[in-house]
A and B are shown apart, each in its own frame.
Chain A
Amino acid sequence: MSLLELKNVYKIYGELHALDDVNLKVEKGEWVSIMGPSGSGKSTMMNIIGCMDKPTKGEVLLDGVDISKQSKKNLTAIRRDKIGLIFQQFHLVNYLTAVENVMLAQYYHSIPDEKEALEALERVGLADRAKHLPSQLSGGEQQRVCVARALINYPEIILADEPTGNLDEANEEIVVDLFNKLHQDGTTLIVVTHDPEVAEVAQRKIVLRSGKITKVEENRNFTGKIRFDD
């Protein structure tokens, strides 16, 4: 059984078909990237996978559970237990330190454990910045805190929305390396991105256009590293 399965998923806003009969399977441990121009339905798809929205029609099975039939409260619980989110704008709580931001995810999940949170920060290479406020961190550092926060509860899937959109190349590479590490640890990764370089790294690349999956590319030379064209 696939970890995630979308069966004939539609998302319709009035006349607009944001998602139009989407079918997709993601296996456990897979690294998938989703590409597409603005308005292609990437964000909608991510929201649905991230349990933040429900499809108009169709089934979304996550670990065998149809999340399109769940109540709002249950969706929150599923999201908390199974999904780690990473955003383009980082979205850190600006009055909490790096380690506290990581602990926040633990807090809503189970019980906060500072030691574990510090270990997570160490994994993203930020152990020495643990006591800093987001405003004292660079963009790359902030995104790494987000990664630490996303992985702290050992989610089934890490869902990243334009994780490198606000980062320079150096930081982009650091983040992709982190993803690679996570991949090697067996975490399922779904990365929504505009950036072909980041998309290419994944094992499988899915291209969305006007709400439909138009292209699926398997990456035969998967290395988990960014290949810069130049």
Chain B
Amino acid sequence: MVVALLSIAIGATILSGLVSIYYDVPRQMGAEFRNYGANVIFTASGDSFTVSDINDAAAIFDSGDIVGTAPFRYENVRINEKPIVAAGTDPEGVKKTSPYWRITGQWLEGSGELLVGANVADTFRLKEGDFIDVYYTPEGSQSADENGERVVVEDNIKSFTVVGILDTGGKEEDYVYMTLADIEELTQADKGRADIAELSVSLSADELADVVDKINAQVSTVHASLVKRVTASEATVLTKLQALVLLVTVVVLALTMICVATTMTAVVAERRKEIGLRKAIGASDTSIIKEFMGESMLLGLFGGILGSVLGFVFAQQVSINVFSSSISFRPLLVPVTVLISMAVTGLSSLMPIRSATYVDPALVLKGE
């Protein structure tokens, strides 16, 4: 009996554990895929848009789905008389949308700090802790006024401390990064303006496409688009991963069920003598089947309950070990596990019980 209960509980543990993992894989893996960075890009549908437009558009997503939002404003500036692209952004947002950025030194945090792309750092031989002046030539400085005289406008200058060197292997290495407030101070124009915003949202490609359409319809200033490279690839890989876990679950499950069935067969076969005895003292076949089935169903019930608990514990352990996040408890899984384990135990004992009732009680009792 203990043997049977144990094997049913193991079967149920595997069932509920793997199904929990199966349902949690897209969510957990989806979070891992956010390593690839932004999957939605906002651009201005008109000439320009502002940070508040971005926030309006981002509000259409469920706030829980958004991993991070990073607005960017690009300006041409000069460092040591060489033209460089400077980007103003929200450092906290970038940390979330571009987790793959590798910083030597410190992350950009406040005013007066500059994050320098690796290539720029190479060119100017900059290192962490250096001080540097950034020049910005306001618009119109090269033009002439209505009298045809050149208007000389002073360059805006701001001093920065290099806090870190940025290594991404991409074009970001050619830029310098500062906070949005700093770039506004440097340019002294277009307060609140942004050129582009990157969003990292943990939703599937289809769900994303729906929300993107909604944003394009509702927020006139913002044009949202999917980063195909990230969304399409994520969908491909995620589908395969889930299919993998599903198939593995099915295979493991099928095999465990057969194991439970063989164990039940063995357990019932051991009790042939008892069945013979019951028949000898006048029990009918149906009453024997009922009684034994009831017993095995009860085993299935206890095994199933035990298994659901152990399975949840197991899935939780896997989730914490693999994804360092906890798994949500699925109440529905408990009755399903219990029902399935009862059904499997019942079915697998039905056959041997039936065949045991065909036995001649006299023969069994004589010990043959």
Contact present between A and B (CB < 8 A): yes
* B337-368 contacts to A (CB < 8 Å): 366-368
Question: Which A residues are CB-close (under 8 A) to B366?
Answer: 89, 166
* A179-223 contacts to B (CB < 8 Å): none
Interface size on B, residues (CB 8 A): 3
Question: Which B residues are CB-close (under 8 A) to A166?
Answer: 366
* A88-109 contacts to B (CB < 8 Å): 89
Bound form: Cα–Cα A131–B107 in Å:
89
CB closest residue in chain A, given B367 = A89
Bound form: Cα–Cα A166–B367 in Å:
11
* B185-200 contacts to A (CB < 8 Å): none
Q: How far is the CB of B362 from chain A (nearest CB, A)?
A: 12
Q: Is the interface of B mostly helix, strand, loop or mixed?
A: loop
Bound form: Cα–Cα A47–B48 in Å:
104
CB closest residue in chain A, given B366 = A166
Question: Which A residues are CB-close (under 8 A) to B367?
Answer: 89
Q: How far is the CB of B82 from chain A (nearest CB, A)?
A: 93
Q: How far is the CB of B123 from chain A (nearest CB, A)?
A: 87
Bound form: Cα–Cα A106–B366 in Å:
28
Question: Which B residues are CB-close (under 8 A) to A135?
Answer: 368
Report A133-144 CB contacts with B as 1/0, cut-off 8 Å.
001000000000
Question: Which B residues are CB-close (under 8 A) to A89?
Answer: 366-367
Q: How far is the CB of A91 from chain B (nearest CB, A)?
A: 9
Q: How far is the CB of A139 from chain B (nearest CB, A)?
A: 9
Bound form: Cα–Cα A1–B368 in Å:
42
CB closest residue in chain B, given A135 = B368
Q: How far is the CB of A96 from chain B (nearest CB, A)?
A: 16
Bound form: Cα–Cα A144–B278 in Å:
32
Question: Which A residues are CB-close (under 8 A) to B368?
Answer: 135
Q: How far is the CB of A90 from chain B (nearest CB, A)?
A: 9
Bound form: Cα–Cα A89–B366 in Å:
8
* A118-136 contacts to B (CB < 8 Å): 135
Q: How far is the CB of A111 from chain B (nearest CB, A)?
A: 31
Q: How far is the CB of B230 from chain A (nearest CB, A)?
A: 66
Bound form: Cα–Cα A135–B363 in Å:
12
* A129-183 contacts to B (CB < 8 Å): 135, 166
CB closest residue in chain A, given B368 = A135
Q: Which positions in A face B, CB cutoff 8 Å?
A: 89, 135, 166
Q: Which positions in B face A, CB cutoff 8 Å?
A: 366-368
The 4 A-B pairs at the shortest CB distance, nearest first, are namely: A89-B367, A166-B366, A135-B368, A89-B366
Q: What are 4 A-B residue pairs whose CB atoms fall within 8 Å in the complex?
A: A89-B366, A89-B367, A135-B368, A166-B366
